[in-house]
Structure 1
Amino acid sequence: MGRVLRETPNPPLSSSTEGATTSSTSVMKTLNGSHHFKITGYSQSKGTGVGKYIASDMFMVGGYLWAVYFYPDGKSPEDNAAYVSLFIALASEGTDVRALFELTLLDQSGKERHKVHSHFGRTLESGPYTLKYRGSMWGYKRFFRRTLLEQSDYLKNDCLSVHCSVGIVKSHTEGPKFYSIAVPPSRIGHHFGQLLKTGKGTDVSFEVDGEVFYAHKLVLAARSPVFRAQLFGPMKEQNTKQIKVEDIEAPVFKVQLNTPLLMLDKNSCYFLTNDNALFLETSPCKLYAGVADAYAFEVNLWHALLHFMYWDSLPDMQELTGLDSKWVTTLMSQHLLAAADRYGLERLRLLCESNLCEDVAINTVATTLALAEQHHCFQLKAVCLKFVAVPENLRAVMQTDGFVYLKESCPSVMTELLEYVARVIEHSVYVCKHGIEPIFDGSDANVSGGRIISGLWKDKDKKCVKLRGDGRGKGKW
């Protein structure tokens, strides 16, 4: 028994468009391009025969290839080689290509009396010229009488110069869109991150300061050219399943190790530096166990490095280190910058540069500047030099251990710094607002109930306690 097939009616427009007034616009656009064609040895081209041509190199306009064809003996037999012919031809596949053309024979006397045949700039009853297929031409069989051409200023040193312009005419209709498909953001970083988190399919391990990390060779090789060479290159290590990672920190970090501690009570302490003090709301025991024993941050650094290579983002530094301190975050960014340069992770290097630019401060700028010089971070280096060159900042920075290291390891930077200082002194005018001298050092460190600014600790009641040179408070805290 057969079935009767019925046409399914078109679905109605949504209720939002029924009865509404809509509009659309047809937009005509011309894509223009040009080509210069120089014909040398004109006299030698004569006599090659009617219909024989000299072609220019092909050039692209509007997605189509074009070429200029010059016929020294003309294109048509009936003209008996009395004229030269000049055409523009479609040199690639195309159907009904609508275009405007212009052919110009250049006057080489400098009088600008060019011979121009053009579609541009004039109204045409038939509109743009349409080329039906590859090889279709537009031009003139009787472009110039040969006897006149050879006596004119268009021919010089036996050369002709032709300029060709093509304008492809295209149209499209613009109107309201009645559809919208939401495309979710890419989750490739999340998917790769889950690989690292679950540990499934790992085939390589790294030992860092006694702790073992597991990873996937292909992911590491795809992200880092250094790992690609180490794991798959001709000079790959013999053991690519278990790799012991040596110290990857830069020498500059040695300056910040073994920082002395001032214990206020069992729940809080200070890191002491030459110019300032950094307050940490953590017990000394936890601090020594988590940071002070190995302030190189090797294990945390490797956690952050793998996190970036899988997730393509930086982890929460305070959550990673267990320390709620901007200084610790800055230190981790410094370490990661050095690691990123070592493993060829350009995006990570730039992320670290950006973070360090935002966190330039008195107690870290010298080490950051040394890092920028050692790892060719020119933008970060310029930011640091500009910061240090401010006289108020320079005096404080010169008292830090980092500045001592900077002078010893990067003497060339000192020359650049002197140039910056000279420019600042010569061109800068420091303005005090409301009778208060502005603070330039940028080294504010958040503390419990107050903050430390340029060697002063200010409590909630805005009372200041002067710190001695070693950072210890005078009297009780």
Structure 2
Amino acid sequence: MTSMPMSALLSALRGAGRQHLTASTVAARQAITGSHVLRVHGYNKVLRKKVPNGHFFESAPFGAGGHTWKVVCYPNGSDRDHAGYTSLFLKSLRPHDDPFVFDATTARLQASVLDRDGKPWRTQTAEHRSFLGYEAWGWKDFVKNDDLDLVDDCLTVLCDVTVDDLPLHAEEVVTAAAATPPPEPTASALPPSFDGHGWFPEAIWSDMPTDDMVTIHVGGKSFPAHRFLLEAHSPVLKLALQNVTSSQLHIAGGLALDAEVFEAMLQYMNNYSPSCSEKIKVEPTIADRLLVAADKYGLEKLKLACGEALCPRVDMGSVAAMLTLAERHGCPVLKDACIQFLSRAGNLGSFASTDGFQRLMKDCPSAAEEIADIAVKQYA
């Protein structure tokens, strides 16, 4: 027996005399698993000889469960007691004090060394609670190096990251005011027009059913949008819309996500398909805030475009903030631009004498090793 739809339930309750009636829905979330393959060539002959005990390398950033991660590998052990092992850890790229993250509770990491046939040869599983921040967890003794039987000296590790329970912030839980139907959209509230290079012709709006429309409220403004567009682009919005029983979705604004930024993000979703290969246009003045929003909502192509828009703005006064932004939100293209800037003759020495350098070391310690590598190369 299925439960009564919310709309029917509210109609029945209003018919019983409850005219001032509101409702909200909370639903259990399914665990979300994302997988990443890390393949390392020349593992024994090159990396284990060049990377000393206590030093590591990282995978490229990847998304899983609405968050961004990196795999951290110590080919000669993370400390002296594990010098004969490969140590492997998972790191979240979001800091504890980042106000734009969800309050996820538990993440599980399962990592497997794959054999020549792509089948797990050695598997370890670890669980971690309250994982947000520059935390890394995993195994100092992931695998003993003498036990590794590598094909063509190539190490292949499959990492499955499962995030349980992704609740929204309290402000983002949708409350359906069901006493009166929502007003008909006015001319100013119609969907934004297309600029000619969009996902599909503007005429398609007239072919879409009206019940596909939702209204997003953020920063004191309301934005109409097609549900299928939001769900196709953003796994985070798709998850939020699964629990919407009305056509209204309220999103708490913040320092990075205000009405201006959300409008730009919505314009991107209107005009570009997830598989679009053409260059995405980003307004440089909001590229930093838009990058944070794109990372939060899983819009990887938009995040890349924001990073590219910020690269020309990297200079002595901005490099600390840009490198912190790139590290926190998993933007390799912006990070590379910062590293290249600091690698130029004289720049690192000048930067080390600024307040920005001290803030970077405090706020983004993960960048310290990159800067140390630059210093070694320049002053060796």
Larger C-alpha radius of gyration, 1 or 2? 1
TM-score (norm: length of structure 2)? 0.40
TM-score (norm: length of structure 1)? 0.33
Question: Higher helix proportion, which one?
Answer: 2
